[in-house]
Structure 1
Amino acid sequence: MEKDNLQRNFEGYLSTPRLWQNAEIYGLQQCVLSKTSLRNFSVINAGNLRLGKLVEQFVFHQLSDDDSCSIIAENIQVQDGKRTIGELDALLMTESRPVHLEIIYKFYLYDPEEGPTELSHWIGPNRKDSLLQKLDKLKEKQLPLLYHPKTQSLLDDLGLSTSETIQQVLFKAQLFLPLDHQNIEFNQLNPACVKGFYVKMDNLELFKTGQFFIPEKINWLMDVHDDVKWMNYDNFLLKLNPLTNKKLAPLCWLKQHGKYSKFYVVWW
């Protein structure tokens, strides 16, 4: 990844709020990182990572600038013989006690017809995952890994005990609303996470006079900027159609009437 894009992604990560603020959801407590003046990211080889691993590096970089805690270990593999049971994202030492931290960064779209509750409406762009599925996985698989017998020897080596260690998540997300459903009410989640909208193919003509860009997935974190090769509507469709035909919902950028927007085009 180019250095400029790496920096833009880091700034996009920093500007993304936590998915919920003060209240706990599913009994999950959000980690609140100290306010930081950190703005530059220069970790070598970070540009070759998948999006999820890149976010982890951004978090570790931010934590390294936080005087109130220190990183004890990152990406701790828990194994039973040759079989990997799972991984703890990070173990931290804070001013009060050790913390097991799980790091999540997601992109969710609001489907008003999906489920009966605020949390159940949020799904992945390709409908292969959902917010509820991720919360369940955290609660039932990822966080209980701390108490697995095979984790105990790893903790012993680090001088930690499960009884003293608390568990937190750093759950950030970018949320996208239907084009015709922009005024939804947020009771549990953070409305500041809304970054754009989504449309079906049938509604794309509304933006026929705009200019378009389709970033690679590794660049989904960053905010829209002008230093790209914008496409007109016809060229955009030529690039878009093969993706939607494969049932892929790409994140796209729009420049129209002097405004910039992020949006998904969904096939469903």
Structure 2
Amino acid sequence: MEKDNLQRNFEGYLNTPLLWHDAEVYGLKQCALKGMIFRNFTQKSNEHLRLGKLVEQFVFHQLDEDGSYSILAENIQIQDGKRTIGELDALLMTENRPVHLEIIYKFYLYDPSEGNTELSHWIGPNRRDSLLQKLDKLKEKQLPLLYHPKTQSLLDDLSLNLSEIKQQILFKAQLFLPLDHQKTVFSQLNPDCVKGFYLKINDLERFELGQFYIPEKVNWLMDIHEHVAWMDYHGFMMEIKQWTFKKLAPMCWLKLNGHYSKFFVVWW
């Protein structure tokens, strides 16, 4: 990944709020890291990292810079013989208290026809995942892994007492509402996470005078900037038709009348 893009992704990560604040959702408590000023991300090589692993590196860097945390272990695979049962994202020490931290960064679209609660309306761009599925996985698989018998030897090596470890998550997300959506949809989640809108391909003609760009998925974190190869409407439409034909919903950038917007074009 180019250094400029790496830095832009790091800044995009920092600019993404937590999906919820003080109130617990699903009984899950967020880890609120300090909003410090970061100039450069200069950590390990980040070539070919998937977006989720890149986010983990950003979080570890932020933890390193935060004097109130020390990282005891990260990306710890729990094995049962040759079989991997799962992975703990991080074990930390803060205020003389150990913490098991799970890190999540997601992109969700609001579908009012999906489910009947605030949490159930949020789905992945391709409808292959949802917020509820992720919350269930955290509660039923990822957090209970700490209490699996095969995890005990790791805790012993780190001189950690299982009963003293508290569990937290760091769950950030970019949220997208339907085009022209006006209704307030937030009571549990953080409305500051809304980063744009989504639409179907037939709605794109409304933006015929705009310029467009389709970032690679690993660059979805970053805020929109000017220094990309913008396409006109007709070139963009040719590309988008290939995406929707494959039943894929890409994130796109729009520049129109001096304003910038992030959006998804959905096939469903």
Same fold by TM-score greater than 0.5: yes
1:109 aligns with 2:109: yes
Deviation, structure 1 residue 236: 0.3
2:203 matched residue in structure 1 = 203
Structure 1's consecutive aligned runs of 4 or more residues displaced over 4 angstroms after TM superposition are none
Alignment of 1:90-239 (within 5 A): 90-239=90-239
Farther-moved stretch of structure 1 (66-75 vs 43-52): 43-52
Q: Share of identical aligned residues, percent?
A: 74
Gaps of 5+ in 2: none
1:266 aligns with 2:266: yes
Can you list the C-alpha shifts for 1:89-143, whole angstroms capped at 9, x where unaligned? 0000001410000000000000011000000000000000000000000000000
2:36 matched residue in structure 1 = 36
1:18 matched residue in structure 2 = 18
1:47 and 1:54 in contact (8 A); partners too:
no
SS of structure 1 residue aligned to 2:115: coil
Alpha-carbon separation, structure 2, partners of 1:97 and 1:4: 37
Alpha-carbon separation, structure 2, partners of 1:39 and 1:248: 35
1:257 aligns with 2:247: no
1:64 matched residue in structure 2 = 64
1:6 and 1:47 in contact (8 A); partners too:
no
SS of structure 1 residue aligned to 2:104: strand
Alpha-carbon separation, structure 2, partners of 1:261 and 1:35: 25
Deviation, structure 1 residue 180: 2.5
Deviation, structure 1 residue 161: 1.6
Q: CA RMSD in A?
A: 0.8
2:45 matched residue in structure 1 = 45
1:176 and 1:194 in contact (8 A); partners too:
yes
Gaps of 5+ in 1: none
Amino acid at match of 2:92: L
Aligned residues: 268
Alpha-carbon separation, structure 1, partners of 2:58 and 2:48: 13
Farther-moved stretch of structure 1 (34-43 vs 155-164): 34-43
Deviation, structure 1 residue 166: 0.3
Farther-moved stretch of structure 1 (134-143 vs 31-40): 31-40
Deviation, structure 1 residue 184: 2.3
Alpha-carbon separation, structure 2, partners of 1:239 and 1:33: 39
Alpha-carbon separation, structure 2, partners of 1:133 and 1:185: 19
Query: If the length of structure 1 is used for normalisation, what is the TM-score?
Result: 0.99
Can you list the C-alpha shifts for 1:136-173, whole angstroms capped at 9, x where unaligned? 00000000000000000111001112100000000000
Can you list the C-alpha shifts for 1:27-47, whole angstroms capped at 9, x where unaligned? 000001123122310123113
Query: If the length of structure 2 is used for normalisation, what is the TM-score?
Result: 0.99
Alpha-carbon separation, structure 1, partners of 2:224 and 2:8: 9
